[in-house]
A and B are shown apart, each in its own frame.
Chain A
């Protein structure tokens, strides 16, 4: 057996069913071995899309997604996808070909130091020097990627190593001296947390992405219900707590809901679960949570005290820690606090008076027509936040978005990965005309693999979010944000063999969406909206998150 075969065999041992990839000169033997295996290969139209697809696959299944690229430009094209996964703590395994060992460092054709380049945004990476190490490295890579705080791991395999022979033995366990995540919260800290919850008058739970990756959704619901604690989620936490639950207050942060931001700002106890107090949540303001006690539960010790100094830090797996806390707490009622929270009603922002279709109406209709059961991915920009606000997500792993890195072009390939993982699910990518143009070539991948992914484009003929920023921060001095040439997205879809639709008025929303949801084909819906449509509420840079524009 050669190294390439050993690698593919190791992937099979890890239960890998599909690899998203793009071939090249340094991975010829890997592709030979892949062809002979039971693993399905999805050929994307760029390596970046392969990495995003692996991430989408991982987000819906909870298992590591695998992507594969050749050396040099193949590897560097993966980088955006790897960094996106890193920022959102998504387990992916990226495999790259490398030039032959004796050529490394000589600047030969398609050579790049990809382990050096990706060190800052992989959880770990490997350059394989000895063919015998391949099974152990794959075993370790999957272990590291999927345990503790999940994240991407890259394996770089030189061409000659892939060709060398070895005797295959797949290890049963991993032995890593420097990697031992702490899964159980300290009992003393758990007791302190229980007491703080009992004592609190105005507690709030801030549920983050860790609740989803830690499969702790039911524990969060139980804690909220038992102790009558209202819940806000971060962007990554959406779906971790049911959006239709009476204790749910919405998204928190710079573009959070009025109620969520007001509530967290008036709380006397913030219970952050698998959330990292990112600048998008706190507004970067040093006043955040100054008046409140903070219980911070996270599996990554480095997140605790990084942005907000907690009163009660608890390092551990959120599910285990919440279970322990639940053992200590009693049923509580907080009628005054719940009433106060429910009174945080915004006056609502006034819709601009124009004939354009409102994104909110489309997303709410989509929610209704899919019975809230679709898997929805987004790109990055205004449509991302409209989706977060108006599609009521009630299950974990149904909302796929690039929260940390904010990667335009993420959502469409991620939707493809999700559809590969869940062939029966309705998978919808909500996009903007800017983001869609970044990876629209993946329509070919969707067609080729009969993946009926639906793309809804909120087409405002500009980069809406950047335009909105220029409106507020640059005194409407718009530059570089409006497209003078916009492709006809219906024809683009048709050009790839997919179905194209257009919505220009309210009466078209329901019939078109119905047709699209029922379609067995990839569909693109071009929804013409007002160029000046904004995302509200909005917290200006440096303001506390309780001060919102257009709440």
Chain B
């Protein structure tokens, strides 16, 4: 099963390598990892998506908690939460298909952030399913490049 962990860490150099090193040496797989500062400048937040059963997730959380730089680990996949990912997709877009692509972009409430002679860059924010659905639809035109930020997530309510 896929779990999303929100990990609060000290904003110190080397913390990312401590965390990612822990995953590799203990044989855990990271599906995606996003990191950035929080509302407090000395604390960063990592959103880590891990694939594993309950045993693996419990071990991941406990081992993460052992790192002195890790302040808090919460598994937010089982709770009511919002998760989003941002993708940039560069598609082949010669003038004949542009309008079709624009239609798709509108349906998905995505944005076109760059238009070239024969290509466009589309920016899409959404959860995993939305991103995958759009990617499927754009494949027919030819995807030249695709980049995803990895999921960031937050619990709903207070």
Contacts and interface: CB of A to CB of B under 8 A. Distances in A.
A301 B65 contact: yes
A302 B72 CA distance: 15
Interface stretch (B10-18, B30-38, B75-83, B95-103): B10-18
Contact of A144 (B58, B63, B68, B70): B68
B147 to A, nearest CB: 27
B135 interface: no
Interface in A282-312: 300-302, 305-306
Interface string B97-137: 00000000000000000000000000000000000000000
B62 interface: yes
B62 to A, nearest CB: 4
A144 B69 CA distance: 12
A280 interface: no
Interface stretch (A88-96, A173-181, A456-464): A173-181
Contacts of B67: 124, 178
A120 B25 contact: yes
Given A302-B62, A306-B59, A178 B69 contact: yes
B142 interface: no
Contacts, number: 40
A300 B18 CA distance: 19
Nearest to B62: A302
A179 B14 contact: no
Given A115-B14, A116-B17, A119-B17, A178 B68 contact: yes
Interface string B12-46: 01100110010001000000000000000000000
A9 B58 CA distance: 42
A151 B55 CA distance: 25
B59 A179 contact: no
A305 B58 contact: yes
A177 B9 CA distance: 9
A179 B66 CA distance: 8
Nearest to A127: B14
Interface in A480-512: none
A178 B70 contact: yes
Given A119-B18, A119-B21, A302 B71 contact: no
A300 B58 contact: no
A391 to B, nearest CB: 34
A127 B18 CA distance: 13
A159 interface: no
A179 B68 contact: yes
Interface string A107-133: 000000001100110011001010000
